[in-house]
Amino acid sequence: MLGTDTSIRLPLESVDLVFVCDTYHHFEQPSETLASIYRALKPGGRLVVIDFDRIPGVSRGWLLGHVRAGKDGFRDEIEAAGFEFDDEVDVEGFEENYLLRFHKPE
Q: At 52, which CATH number?
A: 3.40.50.150
- Residue 7 lies inside a defined structural domain of this protein: no
CA atoms within 13 A on the CB side of 33: 18
* Percent of the chain predicted with pLDDT > 70: 100
- Residue 6 lies inside a defined structural domain of this protein: no
Residue 6 pLDDT > 90: yes
Domain span including residue 68:
15-103
93 CB-contact burial (10 Å; exposed 0-12 / middle 13-18 / buried 19+): exposed
How many domains does the chain divide into?
1
pLDDT of residue 62: 92
- Residue 4 lies inside a defined structural domain of this protein: no
What predicted TM-score, i.e. pTM, was given to this entire model? 0.94
Residue 1 pLDDT class (50, 70, 90 cuts): confident
- Residue 35 lies inside a defined structural domain of this protein: yes
Model pLDDT for residues 62-102, shown as the tens digit of each residue: 999 999 999 999 999 999 999 999 999 999 999 999 999 99
